[in-house]
Chains A and B, each alone.
Chain A
Amino acid sequence: MEAIAVNELSKLYSTRDGTVHALQQISFSVSEGEFVAVVGPSGCGKSTLLKVLAGLLPPSKGAARLRGTPITGPRRDIGVVFQSPVLLPWRSVLDNVLLPVDVQRLGRDRHLKVATDLLSLVGLDGFERRYPWELSGGMQQRVAITRALIHDPAILLMDEPFGALDAMTREQMNLELQRIWLERKKTVLFITHSIPEAVFLADRILVLTPRPGRIIDDVQVKIPRPRALEVMNFPEFAPYVHSIRGRFDAKGMIDS
């Protein structure tokens, strides 16, 4: 059974200047446990795709299934990480992590241990009682990732989660995400506009072009894991980046 199956999915927006094809007849599937990155320049409908999969936006045409069942709205077996950490400032770190547990009434007592374990997995042990404003941007995003994992979802949807971080923190977070993924073996759909980030993290990369948003390439990344940051300097790394960038250059869209 495929974790994510998208079939001829289209999403149209009507604006004052006419209809915008945010996504046009997109089809792809993601196997259980696979790490798939979706890469494309801004405005190519990446975020729309994620919102449809998260059940936040209905598709205009076509259908998407998660683990065999069609998406009809938000569901509980997925975890979502957004571009910004979106932490609630009145909740402590621990309470922010437990938000899905509170919403889905899964029982705080049973999840306290899970929360502290996850927080130490992302390197935040001892921060349970702190408040979001006391944390750096990178730490806040780690809390957001922990929150997305707390209810043990089968699928993790990530929408440019490290886009707002500085380059050094971003690399660090990439390493940590890989580590978490290797440990937890979730299916991940990771949206990014950074080609090197996609190559570094993913098993497979879907290349998306804007207006209309469609998939023009599906690249398997055959670099063994665990990948260290030095992988980016390895001879096999550059051709992936080069070929994906080539797809955009050919269409006159340059986006590093």
Chain B
Amino acid sequence: MKSLRNVALTILLFCSSIIAWELIVRVFEVPTFIFPAPSKVAMALWRGFASGLYQKHLYHTLLETVLGFLFGSALGFFLGTAVALNRYIEYFFYPYIVMFQSLPKVALAPLIVVWFGLGLKSQVINAALVAFFPLLVNTMVGLKSADEDRLNLMRSLAASESQIFWMLRLPNALPFVMAGLDVAMIFALIGAIVAEFVGARAGLGMLIQSMNFNMDVSGQFSVLLILSIVGLLLNRCILLIRRRILFWDPSEKERLEQERIAL
């Protein structure tokens, strides 16, 4: 009963803010190139999809994001594993990795365009670079966080180091890895969009830029709306995978519990 009331309240709040926005823009006669009314944004959205323009660019951005996410997180995962398992790799490479992380990777985008051109490759590389680090750090921390008692248990069974890795360290690291994937997904989207700003032939970021030149603010708003929905959906995908894999993790159950209350 309570959840039904909450859903109703959520819808009511959403509708009333849209109406308020529309009214304020109309009453105060705010020019569309400054702040468009929701009706204008909706029209831009419809036009964009009806002409097939948005689908094309959406596809491009999604492809870059997903590919960048996959490459970046795979690389981060393997490098994180190497650093966690090998003291020498950690000693020699970790300082550089940290230096690289403190660099805003967005600043690399122009260079990457110079090196790899305006095509898909550039944007995928940029997305991968941004997505890579959360996986690296989380994998590293997760693999190193195995509980001393559990390690003693495995050792008392005369387990080999590789058995300890597969049966204890890796499953133990999964909650950390999943949290890293969560962040990496959104980071990949940011990386892709920034790369498109810098230079690309297609994509929603490129679309925003060209609309900006044409003072098409309603169009920009409609693309922003698409981007936030894309971000939300990608995040949901990770959440679903996470729930399947981490059914045993107490913090996962806590999240579920909280969401149930929120609904």
Chain A residues with CB under 8 Å of chain B are: 51, 54-56, 73-76, 78, 80, 82, 84, 86, 88-90, 99-100, 102-104, 131-133
Contacts and interface: CB of A to CB of B under 8 A. Distances in A.
A56 B158 contact: no
Contacts, number: 55
B167 A99 contact: yes
Interface in B60-109: none
8 contacts: A54-B156, A56-B152, A74-B157, A90-B248, A99-B157, A102-B167, A133-B248, A133-B250
Nearest to A151: B157
Contact of B167 (A55, A75, A82, A103): A103
Nearest to B163: A103
Interface size class of chain B, counting residues whose CB lies under 8 Å from the partner chain: 20 to 34
A82 B145 CA distance: 20
B157 A100 contact: yes
Contact of A103 (B150, B152, B157, B249): B157
A99 B157 CA distance: 9
B238 interface: no
Contacts of B248: 89-90, 131-133
B158 A74 contact: yes
B167 A74 contact: no
Interface of A is mostly: loop
B38 to A, nearest CB: 46
A55 B156 contact: yes
B155 A88 contact: no
B163 A86 contact: no
A56 B250 contact: no
Contact of B149 (A75, A82, A89, A90): A82
Nearest to B157: A103
B250 A103 contact: no
Which of A76, A80, A90 has the largest count of B CB atoms less than 10 A from its CB?
A90
A140 to B, nearest CB: 13
Contacts of B159: 103
A189 B151 CA distance: 21
Given A89-B248, A103-B158, A131-B248, 13 more contacts: A56-B152, A74-B155, A74-B156, A80-B153, A86-B147, A88-B167, A88-B168, A90-B171, A90-B174, A100-B157, A104-B157, A132-B248, A133-B253
Given A89-B248, A103-B163, A103-B167, A82 B152 contact: yes
B245 to A, nearest CB: 9
B154 interface: yes
A100 B150 CA distance: 13
Contacts of B250: 89, 133
B150 A86 contact: yes
Contacts of A103: 154, 157-159, 163, 167
A57 to B, nearest CB: 10
A99 B155 CA distance: 12
A73 to B, nearest CB: 7
A80 B156 contact: yes
Contacts of B150: 86, 88
A55 B163 CA distance: 18
Which of B154, B155, B157, B253 has the largest count of A CB atoms less than 10 A from its CB?
B157
A104 B153 contact: no
Contacts of A80: 153, 156
